[in-house]
Amino acid sequence: MPRRPRRHQRLKSWPITFSPFGRALARMGSVSKPKRHSESIENHTPSSASNGFVKHPLDEKPEGSESSDGEFDGVVQADFAFFDPKPNDFHGVKTLLQTYLDVEEWDLSGFVDLILEQTTVGTVVKVEDDEDEGIFALATALNLSRYREQKCIIQLKDLFLAKASQEKGVADQLRLLLGEQAHNVGLLVSQRVVNLPPQLLPPLYDSLFNEVSWATEDEPTEELRNSFRFKHYVMLSKIYKHKNPEQKRKRSDDSEEAIVYVKPEDEIFHTLSSWSFCFPLRTQQPAPHEMKNYRSMGLIMAVEADKIPTFRQELGSLINES
């Protein structure tokens, strides 16, 4: 019988019962009617299910008799679930990736198709039983050599190199990673809606890196298995850099950081990165008051695959303490 990935076997080793999810389940089991929870969003840890997608058995919608006044007090209940990418997700994923390369015109649809075809590695986050099938987050890793013929990847590589051309030392390393060493390099793509609860991040990255390691064993051909043995990850993110970094030293209160990371995990990646560089983005959106001293920049960095376990650990502690 051909061997199929048996994800749930490995997931049984996860300590589900000690997670907030497990505690919430236990709480639910002991009361007769669902009460409004103090924490607004139920988060997820992957529990046993086929294909790595999670089922949340709780009925979260408050009963009609329960919500006495029916007014919206700003708390939204949502069940998030992780899924493999499907062709149907095209429009949602495309919306998330609309600003990936700033305003450059490139084969975005082709890029989205690539991501959706790679079902073995890649996760999309949706709300359970949502008719609109809105995509809230996406995480995937694409081998740069496997897809090197694709127009979108060629355009992406050219763009990265063009942005790096100003930075002498880094440009050579980038060229190496995108060229000769491309078979060991994965492009890490992680995009989400701005207000996604941060509790979802550790499971999201865990599922991504787990899928990568499972793929090195489960893929049908030797070539595909090798394509997931990443030694480096390259990623493109957005950050806000303080316009006048010297001014910061003059201020007594260090309330203004030099760099503000749009995605919290980028800070960890940046610290662990082998190299990185920033470039100004062409679109400068009108900034809210707090951000008026910052300008948005793109950040390209490379992280060695060996550093990923450290990353996962630090991400867990970062999210738990915030």
- Binding footprint of other proteins on the chain (CB under 8 A): 90-91, 98, 103-106, 108-109, 282
- Complete DSSP assignment for 172-236: HHHHHHHTGGGGGEEEEEEEE-TT--GGGHHHHHHHHHHHHHHHHHHSSSHHHHHHT--SEEEEE
Joined tokens for residue 257: 């950081």
| Closer Cβ to other proteins, 94 or 229, answer by number | 94
The distance of closest approach from Cβ of residue 158 to other proteins in the complex, given in angstroms and rounded to an integer, is 16
Q: Which residues contact 2 (CB under 8 A, 6 or more apart)?
A: none
For other proteins, the closer of residues 113 and 218 by Cβ is 113
- Comparing CB distances to other proteins, the nearer of 28 and 108 is 108
Residue among 56 and 157 whose Cβ is closer to other proteins = 157
Shortest Cβ 87–other proteins spacing (Å): 10
| Residue 93: CB minimum distance to other proteins, A | 12
Minimum distance, C-beta of residue 143 to other proteins, in the bound complex (Å): 24
Q: Among positive and negative, which fits the CA dihedral 237, 243, 248, 251? A: negative
- Partners of residue 81 on adjacent β-strands: 126
State the nearest-atom distance from the C-beta of 98 to other proteins, in Å: 6
Q: Based on CB atoms, which residue is closest to other proteins, 108 or 291?
A: 108
